[in-house]
Amino acid sequence: VHAKNLIHRDIKAANFLVGENWHVKLCDFGFSRSMGAAGDAMKAGAQMTLCGTDEWMAPETMMGLDYDQKADVFSFGMFLLEMSLRAEPKLRDPSKMYRFEEELYRRDAAKAGVPEGLIQVIVDCTRYEPADRPTMKEVLGVLKDLAKKQPDDTLDFVESSSDSELVEKKEKKDRHKHRDETDAEREKRRRREKKHDARERHRSRKDKDKDKESSEKREK
């Protein structure tokens, strides 16, 4: 988005679409606007309007000050916070100029087992001064580096792989996971999977029967 000289202005989890293979895309560009030619000045002041969602909004936006793409970086940091704690961010205190309370987040993140590297990315994105925040390109670079260090693929969402590549990656991981199984464990797993498939087929037949019954009732 920023590479195309745009500002989104409403980044939050609700505005991301997740495909069946965990391929994530940003959506809802209703508030997005084109930046000025220099990339740091708004066109005719149109981007100075207060828009977005309060809990994810940058302090400068909340206070009606001039803002640029670094406001998106702040919102992305709040989105990462949302994902890391699995809870929506709380409204920030206007008496503190809507500052992000780093110490409180670090405490909650430590309890939730959030990787230190990700905690630091979130803290950097949510700096009070826009100039102190990284660019989105820098943020994604750091996240990709972190993803490579995560053995459990907890940061796979930053990868720009195609769906087929993600499927192949998952299958490879599954093969590795099952490689060291004993024959007894492998047989037990297969029986469990077979039972699961049978239950799914049975549930599917029941759903079809219900749909057919409902259709017949409507026709009568």
Active site residues: 10
CA dihedral in degrees (144, 149, 155, 157; nearest 10)?
A: 40
What are φ and ψ of residue 191, in 5° steps? -65, -40
Rounded to 5 degrees, what are φ and ψ at 11? Answer: -80, 125
The C-alpha atoms of residue 18 and residue 109 are separated, in whole angstroms, by 24
Closest CA to 8 of 65, 44, 63, 56: 56
CB count in 10 Å sphere of residue 59: 22
